[in-house]
Amino acid sequence: MTHLSDGALRRHVDEPDGLPDVELDHLQHCERCSRALAQAQRDGMAVEAALLSKSDKDVDIDAAWDRLLSSLHSNARTVATVTVDRPSFRARVLKAPVLAASGALLVVGGATAAAANDWLPIFHTESITPVSVNLNDLTQLPDLSSFGRWDVKTDPKLVDVPDASAATSQTGLTVSTPTDLPTGVDGTPQFQVMQKQVATFAFSERKAAAAAHAAGGSLPPMPPGLDGAVLRLDLGPAVVQTWSQQGGAPTMIIGQVVAPSASSNGIPLATLRDALLSLPGLPDDVAAELRAATGDGTTLPLPVPADQYTTTSAEVSGTPATVLTSRDQTIAGVVWLDGGVVTIVAGPLDAQEVLSVADGLA
Amino acid sequence: MARNAGGLVMHPELESIFRAQYPAVVAVARRVLRFEADAEDVAQEVFVSFARSAVPAAEARAWLTVAATHTALNVLRSRRRRVAREVSVAESQESPDAAVQVIEKAEQQRVRDALANLPHKQAVVLVLRYSGLSYADIAETTQLSPSSVGTTLRRAELALRKELSDDPSV
């Protein structure tokens, strides 16, 4: 068999039972892997010593507890954030900011129309604009479940399909494929599709007031007609192409999704947007930026963690696009809207590489 | 969620989890930031978020460790430039008798600078591992596969050693 990877050897240092028997057997008989394992052990010990965390005094837990209670009482007067029905540690830690952003930002994503008895289109995406946020802002966003009821009508999951033609037949989207691949990206991509997603959000003034009261705050005055107003949000379908290394790590992703739209059965979306932006929990500067960015009912705000990514403007085949680059220069992506479809090209690449792929999509 | 005597909504097991985990959370932050006061500030911020959450008690330790790691690394990166300026000013004002302390501080600062220079995911994996999380827990919280955790950790250690290559203690 081939020699053990650096990752497998490193894990063996900490978790000796983690290797399969065949790799364990190889390790016991391979001088090269044994030397690499010994080096990994030495490096691990050296780094552990460098990062040694020691203190010359014990923490005063009672004093720390009093300080925490004081902070919580102080914050409760200004932040009415309540979290409910959060499904798992993984979802909470990894996905909550994304869900909070997409849910809240879709709802606040624009508005113009008047009330009507039937579903009335009140938002459709004609452009995308980045909105700077940081992760703390996102985790402070009010959970919309505290202010009404979400009802997701469909199953938001990606399903594997064999190729581009199958993806097209299941979604109706014309799959864009790259003419050239960047260095380090090769092979055949995995194709996945997501069907159109539909969700409704029914605002409840009673629930919102209870949430604010329970958190020690009070609900700002809500506009007439808001209680019971229902929004319908549509997103997709979507196609995702993923290129991966042999070990499974993605090297490039191309995603296409029919841009989101919103409709209402009883209230202008602007009214709901302004009401949501007035609720406690969202920093004033982020609320102001969202209000300014979404005023025309056609601009989709793209939340960008400002402490992790920078954004620049570019063009993809003559269409305005936003380029995102991680501050550590390890990840880049470009996103643009064309013909009602949002497309993103991203991966552990640089900005020029993702733009080159985007320009070459056929 | 439960409400205390003051009408405050908080995690139902907050106090017991706080008393059991607070020293460990401070230790995670101290590993990144070195200074006790900074570490306690981070721990307080983490527990304020935890208090408002509904994280199951069984998942609290991992949740708190991850939160402390991210928060401390963010603080480290944001404070790096300011600290560098302060060290520079302090060095210019120190007397020769304090030379040893200055050198020790400088070495500690180099470790933190090296940590701050690592790609974020590598730094997170490194701190989580040396804070005692298993590969499975790290994989769960970083969306890496367990084998990729080992690879990322190895790269982080090599990068850290390279950054500190002329430091005889490493």
Q: Which of B:105-134 have CB within 8 Å of A?
A: 111, 115, 119-121, 126-127, 129-130, 134
Q: What percent of chain A is modeled with pLDDT above 90? A: 9
Q: Quickly state the pLDDT bin for B89 (edges 50, 70, 90).
A: very low
- When divided into structural domains, chain B yields a total of 1
The answer to whether the beta carbons of residues B50 and B63 sit under 8 Å apart is yes
Please report the pLDDT score of residue A215 as a whole number: 59
- Please tell me which residue of chain A has the smallest CA distance to B57: A89
The answer to whether the beta carbons of residues B66 and B42 sit under 8 Å apart is no
pTM: 0.45
How many whole angstroms separate alpha carbon B102 and alpha carbon B90?
9
Please report the pLDDT score of residue B104 as a whole number: 58
More confident residue, A96 or A218: A218
- pLDDT over 60 at A268, yes or no: yes
Please report the pLDDT score of residue A53 as a whole number: 66
Q: How far is A56 from chain B (nearest CA, A)?
A: 9
Please report the pLDDT score of residue B101 as a whole number: 56
Among A190-204, B32-46, B155-169, the range of highest mean pLDDT: B32-46
Residues of B in contact with A43 (CB under 8 A): 154, 157-158, 161
Please report the pLDDT score of residue A207 as a whole number: 77
Does ipTM top 0.90? no
Q: Which domain holds residue B87?
A: 2-164
Residue B94 neighbours by CB under 8 Å, 6+ apart: B101, B102
Q: Quickly state the pLDDT bin for A74 (edges 50, 70, 90).
A: low
> Alpha helix (H) ranges present in A279-345?
284-293
Contact A50 B169 (CB under 8 A): yes
Q: Which of A:14-53 have CB within 8 Å of B?
A: 14-15, 18, 40, 43-44, 46-53
The burial of A187, by beta-carbon neighbours within 10 Å (0-12 exposed, 13-18 middle, 19 or more buried), is given as exposed
At A48-65, the pLDDT tens digits run 888 876 666 778 999 999
Please report the pLDDT score of residue A248 as a whole number: 66
At A112-140, the pLDDT tens digits run 222 222 344 555 666 777 766 665 555 55
- pLDDT over 70 at A283, yes or no: no
- pLDDT over 80 at A284, yes or no: no
Residue B96 lies in a domain: yes
Would an 8 Å CB–CB cutoff place A83 in contact with chain B? yes
Contact A47 B157 (CB under 8 A): yes
Mean pLDDT of B92-116: 64
CATH of the domain at B33: 1.20.140.160
Please report the pLDDT score of residue A105 as a whole number: 36
Q: Quickly state the pLDDT bin for A293 (edges 50, 70, 90).
A: low
Residues of B in contact with A328 (CB under 8 A): 119-120
Q: Quickly state the pLDDT bin for A356 (edges 50, 70, 90).
A: very high
Six-digit token string for A150: 């979400």
> Alpha helix (H) ranges present in chain B?
14-33, 36-51, 60-93, 99-117, 120-130, 135-142, 146-163
Please report the pLDDT score of residue A282 as a whole number: 61
- pLDDT over 60 at B124, yes or no: yes
- pLDDT over 50 at B96, yes or no: no
Q: Quickly state the pLDDT bin for B105 (edges 50, 70, 90).
A: low
More confident residue, A346 or B143: A346
- The neighbour count for residue B133, using CB atoms within 10 Å, is 23
A–B CB contacts, 8 A cutoff, strictly below: 167
Mean pLDDT of B110-119: 85
**What is Dmax (Cα atoms) for chain A?**
77
Strand partners, A257: A238, A342
At A163-172, the pLDDT tens digits run 988 888 888 8
Q: What percent of chain A is modeled with pLDDT above 70? A: 66
Contact A72 B28 (CB under 8 A): no
Please report the pLDDT score of residue A274 as a whole number: 73
Nearest to B170 among A50, A71, A248 (CB): A50
- Please tell me which residue of chain A has the smallest CA distance to B156: A47
Please report the pLDDT score of residue A286 as a whole number: 63
Please report the pLDDT score of residue B152 as a whole number: 92
Please report the pLDDT score of residue A121 as a whole number: 53
- Please tell me which residue of chain B has the smallest CA distance to A42: B170
Please report the pLDDT score of residue A70 as a whole number: 82
More confident residue, A124 or A349: A349
Of A139-143, A175-179, B91-95, the range with the lowest mean pLDDT is B91-95
The conformation of residue B69, written as its DSSP 8-state character, comes to H
Residue B54 lies in a domain: yes
Q: In this structure, is the dihedral angle defined by the CA atoms of residues A35, A40, A43 and A49, taken in order, positive or negative?
A: negative
Q: What percent of chain B is modeled with pLDDT above 70? A: 74
Of A4-18, A68-82, A166-180, B146-160, the range with the lowest mean pLDDT is A68-82
Of A66-70, A81-85, A339-343, A357-361, the range with the lowest mean pLDDT is A81-85
Mean pLDDT of B61-89: 70
Nearest to B111 among A50, A214, A330 (CB): A50
Please report the pLDDT score of residue B162 as a whole number: 83
Helix H, strand E, coil C: the string for A179-228 is CCCCCCCCCCCEEEEECCEEEEEEECHHHHHHHHHHCCCCCCCCCCCCCC
Mean pLDDT of A197-206: 79
Residue B130 lies in a domain: yes
- pLDDT over 80 at A11, yes or no: yes
The answer to whether the beta carbons of residues A361 and A177 sit under 8 Å apart is yes
Please report the pLDDT score of residue A256 as a whole number: 92
More confident residue, A154 or B48: B48
Residue B170 lies in a domain: no
Of A22-26, A190-194, A241-245, B5-9, the range with the lowest mean pLDDT is B5-9
Six-digit token string for B30: 């101290």
